[in-house]
């Protein structure tokens, strides 16, 4: 796969899966914009670590529709064209029914959906409008195993990712005639900052044993799937949702 002269935007790109994907695209010749929300130093470190030239970081809170618009305008102004968008940014807030009051319950749902679903949808909107002018492009959304099996105590997360799957397939149908591929990856547990507390706690062995491989995924393994789906080799997979969960959850 060759991404030379390809311009790539990765949301939530300063660490974890996003960082691994940025490195994978850059190694294949792509120019990468890393979107981040808080950690300027982590974003700078990631950009500086990427091989090649033309990479940059752009701060934006995806829960803010205006910030999304400004982010996409910045990316297009800098790159001129946009070939690949990886929607990786997401949050995972606990809100168990038994322990959460109604106000906090509503807050958890709104906060989660604003980032994981509405923010992602808004990025897709601007990306699709640009790619339609080019009659080409790839959008890869990072979903989750939880969209299929459910996410107890994190119900908004599971629902948001189910929404991402439906959005992915709807856009694949709508944008295919414009040469735009829309796909998703659905990881299980991955060794990232988001899962660090669980993977370093008492649940670690139980979580690892969910997979017959006896481990969780590395960010690089998920990134490899993302890069494949963003390549011209995978164009006809548009609408597809690829599981990357080590057979920890199987669906028909």
Options 92, 102, 125, 157, the catalytic residue: 157
Tell me whether residue 157 is one of the annotated catalytic residues: yes
- Between CA 117 and CA 89 the distance in angstroms is 10
Do the Cβ atoms of 31 and 82 come closer than 8 Å?
no
DSSP symbol at 52? S
Which residue's entry shows tokens 């998920």? 222
Residues whose CB is less than 8 angstroms from the CB of residue 250 and which lie 6 or more positions away in sequence, other chains included: none
Alpha helices per DSSP H over 12-116? 16-27, 40-49, 65-79, 102-113
- Between CA 57 and CA 55 the distance in angstroms is 7
Task: Give the residue numbers marked as catalytic.
Answer: 157
């Amino acid at each position: 796969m060759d991404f030379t002269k390809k311009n790539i935007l990765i949301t939530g790109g300063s660490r974890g899966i996003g960082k691994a994907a940025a490195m994978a695209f850059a190694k294949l010749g792509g120019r990468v914009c890393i979107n981040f929300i808080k950690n300027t130093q982590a974003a700078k470190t990631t950009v500086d670590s990427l091989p090649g030239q033309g990479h940059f970081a752009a701060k934006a809170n995806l829960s803010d529709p205006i910030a999304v618009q400004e982010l996409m305008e910045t990316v297009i102004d800098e790159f001129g064209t946009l070939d690949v968008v990886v929607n990786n940014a997401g949050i995972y807030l606990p809100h168990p029914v038994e322990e959460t009051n109604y106000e906090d319950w509503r807050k958890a749902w709104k906060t989660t959906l604003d980032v994981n679903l509405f923010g992602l949808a808004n990025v897709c909107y601007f990306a699709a409008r640009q790619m339609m002018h080019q009659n080409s492009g790839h959008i890869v959304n990072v979903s989750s195993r939880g969209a299929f099996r459910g996410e107890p105590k994190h119900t908004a997360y599971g629902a948001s990712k189910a929404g991402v799957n439906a959005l992915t397939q709807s856009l694949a149908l709508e944008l295919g005639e414009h040469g735009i591929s829309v796909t998703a990856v659905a990881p299980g547990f991955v060794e990232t900052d988001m899962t660090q507390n669980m993977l370093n706690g008492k649940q670690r062995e139980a979580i690892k044993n969910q997979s017959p491989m006896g481990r969780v995924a590395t960010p690089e393994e998920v990134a490899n799937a993302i890069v494949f789906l963003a390549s011209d080799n995978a164009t006809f997979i548009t609408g597809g949702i690829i599981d990357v969960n080590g057979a920890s959850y199987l669906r028909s």
